[in-house]
Amino acid sequence: MLEKRTPIPVSEAVKKVMSIPQKQKTEQVHLHKAYRRTLAEDLIAKHPVPPFDRSPYDGFAIRSQDSSEASRDNPITFQVIETIGAGSVCSREVQSGEAVRIMTGAMLPKNCDAIVMLELAHAFSENETNYMTIKREFPAGHNISYQGEDVATGTILLKKGTVINPGTAALLATFGYEYVTVAKQPTIGVFATGSELLDLGDPLEPGKIRNSNTHMLLAQIERAGAIPYYMGNLPDEFDLCYNRVKEAAEQVDMLITTGGVSVGDFDLLPEVYAKLEAEVLFNKIAMRPGSVTTVAVWQDTLLFGLSGNPSACYVGFEVFVKPVIGTSMLQTKPHLQKVKATLIEPVPKANPFTRFVRCALSYSNDQLQVAPSGFNKSSAVSSLAKTVAFMVLPGGTRGYTTGDLVDVLLLESSEGSEWPWE
């Protein structure tokens, strides 16, 4: 009755999951739908930026050599032959003694090589002709934004696998990407298991609780950039469980169940995996919470059997599911970003196994500080809402005390890690 399971280290478990090849599909979306999606192609500069020499200010374009003798005692006057706004082009070459009134962003007229800022020129009209006078020299190149000074043609601006942020959107627009090739978002089904679970709208009953894990996971999946599918609750009935898991696994890219993976009499997932003839990658990990986390592969589809405890479920998703989602979207740093932080509260409990502690972050000057985000039993949901990171306390360590430097995995960062494990 009591099955013997051998725990493996967290890093090994993650490696096993990551070794299962993921479909990496792409699709085209309009730029306005591309925010938070992942680039599926390198973004290469199709032309220089700026695309031509231009004026960064409102002022007058001149030939610099015409200003070489100008001084307070020897003001030099130019005839203003034309006015060009951004988007317009000067109609003719500029001759000696001529200037062009030019607006920010407008293309530098031919022969001109300096811009006089508006404030440094005295403009006036006489006999319906416009003039301006300067009292100093303006050297060649003064106040000019040169073609390509920001970006040269052919520059790789962003690598595929980059998550699109507002700045990326600006770059894509600059080069005319009305449609962007992005990674397709994997679809992920979520079942909760357990006859004790009530639906959201149900009134409480003795011995029963509302399913919270599924709704948490749907948001975690969204945060990770994938598409969640709500599959409902599975009661503790083997045939129903088996059929619905099989049916769902055929429809989605990955399937998550929560609960039912332990060694209790009503933990049906191990039997479901067996009947499916799914390959179980592991069913015990040297970690707390979440030691019973199980992952199996069935017909190339990963079946994640997360613990039914809310905190273990939360950790299991971030450690095992999130990096697979990132990989299937071509991200090169698909894991949680790992940094270090200083403890501002003791965590006295010894750690026979790798322990993940839900925590909140703060800063004191430039020092990143960390503290548990509250009540820390693995069944506690109240601390989850304040959780923005996990502390990772290695197995085989005693408790930690205020001032200790600990590893921290960031949950809300867009950065990621290549491989946060030792």
What residues numbered 70-109 form the site for a second copy, per CB under 8 A?
A: 83-89, 101, 103-107
Per-residue mark of binding to a second copy, 400-419 (x: CB under 8 A): -----x------xxxx----
Nearer Cβ to a second copy (137/236): 236
Q: How far is the CB of 38 from a second copy (least distance, A)?
A: 13
In whole angstroms, the minimum distance from the beta carbon of 162 to a second copy comes to 8
Residue type, 272: V
Q: Which is nearer to a second copy, 128 or 366 (CB)?
A: 366
Q: Which of 207, 239, 348, 422 binds a second copy (CB under 8 A)?
A: 207
Q: What CA–CA distance (Å, rounded) separates 366 from 215?
A: 36
Residues within window 36-75 making contact with a second copy, judged by CB under 8 A: 36, 47, 49-52, 56, 58
Of residues 152 and 274, the one with the C-beta less far from a second copy: 152
> Is the peptide bond preceding residue 289 cis, with omega within 30 degrees of 0?
yes
Q: Does 133 bind a second copy (CB under 8 A)?
A: no
Range 110-129, binding a second copy (CB under 8 A): 118-119, 123
Instruction: Name the β-bridge partners of 28.
Output: 181
- State the nearest-atom distance from the C-beta of 2 to a second copy, in Å: 7
The residue (of 20 and 118) whose beta carbon lies closer to a second copy is: 118
Contact 402, 343 (CB under 8 A): yes
Nearer to a second copy (CB atom), residue 258 or residue 298: 258
Binders of a second copy among residues 241 to 260 (CB under 8 A) are none
d(CA 290, CA 388): 18
State the DSSP H helix or E strand holding residue 384, giving kind and residue range, or none if neither.
none
Contact flag: residue 398 with a second copy (CB under 8 A)? no
Footprint of a second copy on 355-384 (CB under 8 A): 363, 365-369, 375, 377, 379-384
Contact 221, 190 (CB under 8 A): yes
CB of 286 to a second copy, least distance (A): 17
Q: Is 223 in the site for a second copy (CB under 8 A)?
A: yes
What is the C-alpha end-to-end distance of the chain, expressed in Å? 36
Nearer to a second copy, 172 or 281 (CB): 172
Compute the distance between CA of residue 352 and CA of residue 347 in angstroms, rounded to an integer.
Answer: 14
Residue range at the interface with a second copy (CB under 8 A); choices 18-26, 28-36, 271-279, 296-304 = 28-36
Query: Cα separation of 236 and 230, whole Å?
Result: 18
Window 258-287: contact mask with a second copy (x via CB under 8 A): ----xxxxx---------------------
With contact defined as beta carbons under 8 Å apart, do 12 and 142 qualify?
no
Stretch 159-188: interaction string toward a second copy, x if CB under 8 A: ---x-xxxxxxxxxxxxxxx----------
Give min distance, CB of 12 to a second copy, in A: 24
- Beta-ladder partners of 93: none
CB of 204 to a second copy, least distance (A): 6
Tell me how many degrees the CA angle 290-228-334 measures, rounded to the nearest 5: 60
- 216 is an interface residue for a second copy by CB under 8 A: yes
H-run or E-run covering 258: strand 254-258
Which H or E run contains 150? none
The nearer residue to a second copy, 5 or 25, going by C-beta atoms, is 5
| Position 340 contacts a second copy (CB under 8 A) | yes
- Shortest Å, Cβ 265 to a second copy: 7
Between CA 297 and CA 278 the distance in angstroms is 5
Helices 269-276 & 238-249, crossing angle to 10 degrees? 60
DSSP one-letter string for 31-53: GGG-TT-BBSS-EE-SS-BSSS-
Which is closer to a second copy, CB of 208 or CB of 275? 208
Query: Residue 397 interacts with a second copy (CB under 8 A)?
Result: no
Q: Which of 115, 118, 136 is nearest to 53 (CA)?
A: 115
In the complex, minimum distance from the CB of residue 407 to a second copy, in angstroms, rounded to a whole number? 11
Query: Which value, to the nearest 10 degrees, does the dihedral of the CA atoms of residues 65, 69, 75, 81 take?
Result: -20
How far is 26 from 165, CA to CA, in rounded Å? 18
User: Which residues does residue 417 pair with via DSSP β-bridges, in sequence order?
Assistant: 335
